[in-house]
Chains A and B, each alone.
Chain A
Amino acid sequence: MIQVSIPSQLIAYTGGATRVEAAGATVGAVLSDLDDRYPGLKFRVVDEQDRIRRHMRIFVGQDEVKSLTVPVRDGGELLIFGALSGG
C-alpha cells in the first residue's frame, strides 16, 4: 500500500482524513484508487487529459512528479499539495 498525504483542499472528499492509504503502481493508479473510494477527488487534482492541475503539486517521496506514469513503490509515500499564491 501507499501512504497518501491529503491537503486541506481535498479533505472534504476523505471525510477529514489528512493521511489515507491507496494502492497502485503509478501515480495515476494511486489517484484512480483514491477516486474509487473518494469519488470526484482525482478530477480536481488532474484534468481530463491526465495533466496535473496548475496549482496542485504531487511528490513521490521527496521528488516532485509531473506525470501520472511515474512509478510508486509499495510502502512508499505520495504527497499532494495545493500551491497557490495571491488573495
Chain B
Amino acid sequence: MTQAIQLLVGTRKGAWTLLSDAGRERWTVRGPLFLGQIINHFVADPRDPRVMLMAAATGHLGPTILRSIDGGATWTEATRPPAFPKGDPHGRAVDHSFWVEPGHADEPGVWWVGTSPPALFRSADGGDTWDSVEGLNNHPMVMEWFPPEGGTPDGAILNQVVVDPRDPRHMYLATCSAGVLETTDQGASWRPLNQNVRCDFLPDPYPEFGQDAHFLSLAPSDPDRLWQQNHCGIYRLDRPGERWTRIGEAMPKEIGDIGFTIVPHARDRETAWVWPMDGTDVWPRTSPGGRPAAYRTRDGGASWERQDRGFPAEQGWFTVKRQAFCADACDPMGLYIGATNGEIWASGDEGGQWRQICAHLPEIYSVTVAPAP
C-alpha cells in the first residue's frame, strides 16, 4: 500500500520540497525556501509532522536553526540556536549545525543537533532554544575524541545522532574522529563502540577510537541490529555484541565498500542499501566507473546485489552525500537519493527500477521523507 509523501530537500543553496501523488508516480516541486542558505539537514518531526526544522547557515552568516510549526507554511529562527557556553574552555564556537534529530517518541518537543566542531546540543521546546550537552561537549576525552585539527576538509563533524526507539536514554553518535559513541544515560556519559572497525589512516588500524563513522542505522524491526557505513568499509553489529563485522568484504572488489550512508529496510532486519563511491587512489568519491548504482543486501551483508536499472549506464559521475539517501515505510518501500549534481532519483519498488524525478537543483545535501501535508 502506497500513499502520498513529500521529500524535504536541503541543498547548498536553499531548500525545496517534492510532493507526490498517492502512487508516488507524479511529483510536484516547490521552492526554493531560503534561497542561498546552506541547508545541511531538513527534517519533519515524526511525532507531529507539522513541525519541521532546518540546520541552516550561509557563506557569510553564522549558523542557525529554522523552524516551522505549520508544515512549512511559515518559518521562524530559533530564539537561541546551538552555541557553546561563552567562555568555553576550548574556545569553541559552532561553525554549522549538521544533523537534526527528533527526540524519542515519549519526549515530545525534544530535539538533538550535531554540529561542527563536533558537539551535541539538545532542545526541549521544539527547537526554539538549545543547550550544550556537557556530558559530551566537556567530556574528559573530548579533545582526544575531537581534536581541533581533526576531521574532514570542511571541519570535523558530529555526523549523526541516533536515538534508540525503545529507550530515550540510549543513544548513539556517529562522529568523524571518534567513530561511534554510545550513551545509556541520555548523554551524561559516553563510551566508544568501535571494536574491529578499521582505520586505514592511523598507525594502529584498529584503535579504540579515531574512526570516521559516516552513518549509523538501527533496523526499525530490530533496533539491536546496527548498520554502519564507515569511511573505511561497511559494518554490522548485533547488540549486545561489541564487535563489528565488516560486511562490506562481500561487496564486488571493483566497487568496494566506501560510501556515506546506509539505509535499513522498514520491516526486514536482513535488508539494507548502500550507495558506493570510488575510494581508490586519490578517493574521487564519484560513482565507481561513472556507473551510478545502489547495492542491496537481503541476508545481513553476506551478499550484495547491484541495483542500477534507470541510472546512466556510463558517464554518470554524481554521488550521494550522507543525509541524501532515504526511504519511506510504504509496502513496497520507496527509495530516494539526492545527488551532488542536483538530481533526485526515486525507486518505487525497493530499488528494482529508478527514475529521475527532479533535476537542476543545487548540490543536494539532504533528502528526508515526511507525510504529505
Encode A31-73 as 1/0 by CB contact (under 8 A) with B: 0000000011001111111110101100000000000000000
Instruction: Give the complex CA separation of A87 and B79 in angstroms.
Output: 30
A24 in the interface (beta carbon within 8 A): no
A78 in the interface (beta carbon within 8 A): no
Report whether B64 and A40 are in contact in the complex, using a CB–CB cutoff of 8 Å: yes
Report whether A53 and B86 are in contact in the complex, using a CB–CB cutoff of 8 Å: no
Residues of B contacting A7 in the complex (Cβ-Cβ under 8 angstroms): 60
B59 in the interface (beta carbon within 8 A): yes
Q: Which of B60, B77, B81 contacts A9 (CB 8 A)?
A: B60
User: Whose C-beta in chain A lies nearest to the C-beta of B84?
Assistant: A48
Report whether A82 and B62 are in contact in the complex, using a CB–CB cutoff of 8 Å: no
Residues of B contacting A9 in the complex (Cβ-Cβ under 8 angstroms): 58, 60-61
Encode A8-31 as 1/0 by CB contact (under 8 A) with B: 011000000000000000000000
A86 in the interface (beta carbon within 8 A): yes
* A84/B94 contact (C-beta < 8 A), A43-B83, A48-B83, A48-B84 known: no
User: Whose C-beta in chain B lies nearest to the C-beta of A53?
Assistant: B62
CB distance from A34 to the nearest CB of B (A): 14
Report whether A56 and B60 are in contact in the complex, using a CB–CB cutoff of 8 Å: yes
B85 in the interface (beta carbon within 8 A): yes
Report whether B61 and A49 are in contact in the complex, using a CB–CB cutoff of 8 Å: no
Residues of B contacting A55 in the complex (Cβ-Cβ under 8 angstroms): 59-60
B interface residues with partner A (beta carbon < 8 Å) = 58-62, 64, 77-79, 81, 83-88, 91-94
Other contacts beyond A47-B83, A49-B87, A82-B60: 4, CB < 8 A: A9-B60, A49-B84, A49-B86, A55-B59
